[in-house]
């Protein structure tokens, strides 16, 4: 089931045949991680092209995310130093001069987020990275990005919070902020890599999603994945498929920046081509003109929400293992999806039928799948480094049909697998 | 009492080419200084004979923040205080375009103050036009970092006690290469200043002292918008090249106007390109945006 989902996802993103996307899947998504990594295919090492450092590397998750962004064609990066995300900015600042990109260290995170929106409207793929406190500062302009429907990618290398919290230690407690952090009502797409390899791949995927759905995409990684160094295999450039920006094919005077289309994703208008369009963070109509009333609000906000909801089956990417006959299904994302492996192995050895779901996309939440499972299993468990954020969604979708458990803690370290095992044992009672 | 004026059907707005006529009438109050300021900007663009496809306007939030919505150019109405970083990203992505930030004193200098000084420091090639009405007008007339000492506002009901910013000094000391100040009365001089600012390579700054008759004038019993224009007429002192340390605006006193600074300095992108060429030689792939090839 997960494989099929992924193929469909890639096909829909790249408008290529399922066969091609299957090949692509094998190449750019070479494994289903969850602890035991298997590179299914040996890559041919060859000279790097301009942007893509094809070959095997020993990289941490942050450097790998930077390479993914570069491979995806990112040419503008604005950021502000903050532990534990800074290595992304550092890598980009070293790499960009040789590939025609520009890195700018802004005065703060508010400016970083604003600058990547401006650059994106200038026609350049753009990105920023940050961590907890910086993520808070970016939230207002993140909302502008949602409202202006601006493709760009933002990486949050999560650390312990609240406030300054634990700058050098991992956390996963910004997940609800990712979902609701900017004021107002909207939908987001958030990805969570489990390894440096996935940091590379999901950076590319995030850029593809941002262009496809014309919105900012969040990569909600964490300090552990960000600073974990592992083998990262970068495929040759011709095997990395990219989604390019869709611009209107209508002439100036007939095209509007938020034109209503069947798929609810409006083609963008290019700057400097005589469209002389207007866009605003105010509630607006399809022309981009501000309209200050409830009717316009309904249309505008409804479309921002429906744009994601209508495509939720294409967007959601979860990887399931041993779920079909499971009594208990354990769900996790990011580093927690790896840390739970010993606990699952131990429980299964004892005969407890535990299945697992790794959430590559955390938002939108796989509501439909969780509702199906809640009808079939005895218990659902969420493993995350917080005291119940994505768990709340799990619990909501379970709707009392099965028991729900949170294996959570306040962050600062990854889970002790023993504690996850104890939660499984309790769920199995 | 309203006066109906008969207009011939074929009569067109003189600035029609540069205004979104489908959004006129605008929301600004009668005698607001924004009308003449936008006219000066439109005249400047006409006189420069630029390719208008290659001019973009970025605004923040507030009365002046609405300028982007009325100018018939690629125009961006962003968040409060963040027009400059948005413009920076746009300009770096499209170095061939003229990017003009048009916003108010509260937006650019209070909430956006950090972006203002840092973008001036980098000498990013944008033009910033700051309409200074000494007050937060859109929200009902609260005290601003430009409000002169003793002036009354909705949140300084007993008179402002704080020292205000001297905007030309702030811009010049932060690194701007062009700094001018005019009032909304000096339409032709303001037009010339905006032309020079747009033409200038680097961070250029024009302060426009403008009347807010609905709030600033009413709260301070200064009369009508016309009275304020008369005040500018009687109290503006033109001093080109004046020392920016001496151009503070005090409450209802002389306003020093003119072109204070016009110097040459490499822009942000020039510095990046030169620096990288020194380091990488022929290997350096200069960043030039996509030059409209999208």
- Taking the CA of residue B275 and the nearest CA in chain A, the distance in Å comes to 10
Q: Which token pair is B30?
A: 């009668």
Q: Mapping DSSP to helix (H, G, I), strand (E, B) and coil, where does residue B57 land?
A: strand
How many Cβ pairs closer than 8 A exist between chain A and B?
A: 164
pLDDT value at residue B286: 84
Cis peptide before A162 (omega within 30 of 0): yes
Flag whether pLDDT at A1 surpasses 50.
no
Region A34-239: CATH code:
3.40.50.970
Q: What is residue B200's DSSP assignment?
A: S
A128: nearest Cα among A179, A167, A93: A93
- Taking the CA of residue A169 and the nearest CA in chain B, the distance in Å comes to 30
Report the C-alpha dihedral over residues A280, A284, A285, A288, rounded to 10 degrees.
-10
Flag whether pLDDT at A119 surpasses 60.
yes
* pLDDT (tens digit per residue) in A238-276: 999 999 999 999 999 999 999 999 999 999 999 999 999
pLDDT value at residue A395: 98
The dihedrals phi and psi of A156, each to the nearest 5 degrees, come to -110, 110
Helices (H), A37-171: 61-71, 86-95, 109-121, 132-148
Regions of chain B with pLDDT less than 70: 1-3, 5, 7, 288-294
Q: What is residue A262's DSSP assignment?
A: T
* pLDDT (tens digit per residue) in A8-44: 444 444 433 333 333 333 333 333 333 333 333 333 3
Chain A partners within 8 Å of B89 (Cβ): 76, 78, 114-122, 126
Residue carrying structure tokens 């910013």: B165
* pLDDT (tens digit per residue) in B226-235: 999 999 999 9
Flag whether pLDDT at A204 surpasses 50.
yes
Chain A partners within 8 Å of B93 (Cβ): 76, 118-124, 126
- Contact: A107, B68; criterion CB under 8 Å: no
- Rounded to whole angstroms, the Cα distance separating A34 from B183 reads 66
Chain A partners within 8 Å of B114 (Cβ): 107-108, 111
- Contact: A123, B286; criterion CB under 8 Å: no
Residue in chain A lying closest to B19 (CA): A276
- Rounded to whole angstroms, the Cα distance separating B111 from B126 reads 19
Chain B partners within 8 Å of A278 (Cβ): 20, 68-69, 75-77
Flag whether pLDDT at A403 surpasses 60.
yes
**Arithmetic mean of pLDDT over chain A:** 90
Q: Mapping DSSP to helix (H, G, I), strand (E, B) and coil, where does residue A245 land?
A: coil
pLDDT value at residue A418: 98
Q: Which token pair is A149?
A: 């429907």
Q: Are A161 and A173 in contact (CB under 8 A)?
A: yes
- Rounded to whole angstroms, the Cα distance separating B118 from A110 reads 13
- Taking the CA of residue B90 and the nearest CA in chain A, the distance in Å comes to 4
CATH architecture of structural domain B18-283: 3-Layer(aba) Sandwich (3.40)
Flag whether pLDDT at A92 surpasses 90.
yes
Burial A198-214 (b: 16+ CB within 10 A, else e): bbbbbbbbbbbbbbbbb
The dihedrals phi and psi of B8, each to the nearest 5 degrees, come to -65, 145
DSSP B227-257: HHHHHHHHHEEE-TT--GGG----TTS-EEE
Which CATH topology does A318-428 take? Rossmann fold (3.40.50)
DSSP A167-220: EEEE--TTHHHHHH-SSS-----EE--SSHHHHHHHHHHHHHHHHHHTSEEEEE
Q: Are B192 and B46 in contact (CB under 8 A)?
A: no
Cis peptide before A84 (omega within 30 of 0): yes
β-bridge pairing A190-191 and A361-363: antiparallel
Q: Where in chain A is the domain with CATH 3.40.50.920?
A: 318-428
* pLDDT (tens digit per residue) in B37-56: 999 999 999 999 999 999 99
- Rounded to whole angstroms, the Cα distance separating A253 from B214 reads 36
Residue in chain B lying closest to A270 (CA): B294
Report the C-alpha dihedral over residues B70, B75, B78, B83, rounded to 10 degrees.
-110
Chain B partners within 8 Å of A108 (Cβ): 114
Interface predicted TM-score (ipTM): 0.95
Q: Where in chain A is the domain with CATH 3.40.50.970?
A: 34-239
- Rounded to whole angstroms, the Cα distance separating B143 from B220 reads 12
Q: Which token pair is B184?
A: 């909304």
Please report how the helices A341-349 and A417-428 are oriented relative to each other, as an axis angle in degrees rounded to 10: 40
């Amino acid at each position: 089931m997960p494989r099929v989902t992924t193929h469909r996802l890639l096909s829909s993103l790249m408008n290529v045949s399922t066969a091609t996307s299957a090949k692509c899947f094998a190449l750019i998504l070479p494994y289903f991680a969850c602890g035991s990594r298997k590179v299914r295919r040996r890559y041919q090492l060859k000279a790097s092209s301009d942007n893509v450092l094809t070959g095997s590397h020993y990289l941490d998750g942050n450097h790998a995310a930077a390479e993914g962004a570069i491979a995806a064609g990112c040419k503008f990066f604005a950021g502000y130093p903050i532990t534990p995300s800074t290595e992304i900015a550092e890598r980009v600042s070293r790499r960009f001069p040789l590939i025609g990109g520009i890195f700018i260290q802004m005065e703060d995170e508010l400016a970083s987020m604003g600058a990547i929106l401006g650059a994106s409207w200038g026609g350049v793929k753009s990105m920023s990275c940050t961590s907890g406190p910086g993520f808070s500062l970016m939230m207002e302009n993140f909302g502008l990005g949602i409202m202006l429907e601006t493709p760009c990618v933002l990486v949050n290398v999560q650390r312990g919070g609240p406030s300054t919290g634990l700058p050098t230690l991992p956390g996963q407690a910004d997940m609800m902020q990712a979902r609701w952090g900017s004021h107002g009502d909207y939908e987001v797409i958030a990805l969570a890599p489990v390894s440096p390899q996935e940091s590379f791949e999901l950076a590319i995927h995030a850029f593809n999603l941002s262009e496809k759905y014309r919105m900012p995409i969040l990569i909600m990684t964490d300090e552990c994945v960000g600073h974990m160094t592992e083998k990262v295999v970068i495929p040759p450039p011709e095997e990395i498929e990219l989604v390019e920006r869709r611009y209107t094919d209508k002439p100036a005077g007939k095209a509007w920046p938020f034109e209503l289309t069947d798929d609810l994703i409006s083609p963008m208008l290019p700057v400097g081509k005589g469209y002389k369009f207007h866009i605003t963070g105010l509630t607006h109509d399809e022309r981009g003109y501000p309209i200050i009333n409830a009717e316009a609000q309904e249309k505008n906000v409804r479309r921002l929400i429906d744009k994601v909801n209508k495509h939720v089956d294409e967007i959601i990417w979860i990887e399931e293992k041993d779920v079909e006959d499971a009594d208990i299904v354990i769900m996790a994302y990011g580093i927690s999806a790896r840390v739970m492996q010993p606990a699952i192995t131990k429980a299964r050895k004892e005969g407890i039928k535990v299945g697992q779901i790794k959430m590559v996309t955390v938002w939108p939440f796989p509501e439909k799948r969780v509702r199906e499972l809640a009808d079939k299993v005895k218990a659902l468990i969420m493993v995350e480094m917080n005291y119940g954020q994505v768990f709340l969604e799990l619990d909501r979708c379970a709707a009392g049909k099965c028991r729900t458990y949170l294996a959570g803690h306040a962050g600062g370290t990854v889970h002790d697998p023993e504690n996850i095992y104890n939660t499984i044992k309790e769920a199995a009672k | 009492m309203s006066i109906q004026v008969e207009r011939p059907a074929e009569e067109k707005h003189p600035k029609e080419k540069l205004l979104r006529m489908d959004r006129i009438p605008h929301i600004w109050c009668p005698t607001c200084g924004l009308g003449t300021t936008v006219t000066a900007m439109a005249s400047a663009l006409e006189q420069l004979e630029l390719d208008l496809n290659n001019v973009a306007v970025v605004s923040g939030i507030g009365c002046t923040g609405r300028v982007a919505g009325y100018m018939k150019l690629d125009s961006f109405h962003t968040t409060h205080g963040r027009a400059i970083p948005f413009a920076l990203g746009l300009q770096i992505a499209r170095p061939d375009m003229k990017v003009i930030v048009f916003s108010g004193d509260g937006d650019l200098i209070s909430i956006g103050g950090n972006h203002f000084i840092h973008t001036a420091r980098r000498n990013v090639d944008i033009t910033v036009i700051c309409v200074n009405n000494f007050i937060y007008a859109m929200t009902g007339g609260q005290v601003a970092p430009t409000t002169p000492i003793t002036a009354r506002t909705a949140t300084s009901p007993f008179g402002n006690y704080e020292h205000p910013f001297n905007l030309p000094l702030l811009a010049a000391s932060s690194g701007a290469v062009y700094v001018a100040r005019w009032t909304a009365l000096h339409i032709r001089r303001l037009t010339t200043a905006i032309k020079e600012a747009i033409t200038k390579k680097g961070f250029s700054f024009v302060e426009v002292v403008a009347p807010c008759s609905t709030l600033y004038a009413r709260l301070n019993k200064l009369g009508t918008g016309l009275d304020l224009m008369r005040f500018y007429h009687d109290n503006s002192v033109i001093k080109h090249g004046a020392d920016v340390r001496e151009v503070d605006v005090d409450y209802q006193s002389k306003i020093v106007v003119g072109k204070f600074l016009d110097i040459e300095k490499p822009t942000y992108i020039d510095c990046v390109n030169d620096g990288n060429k020194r380091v990488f030689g022929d290997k350096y792939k200069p960043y030039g945006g996509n030059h409209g090839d999208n």
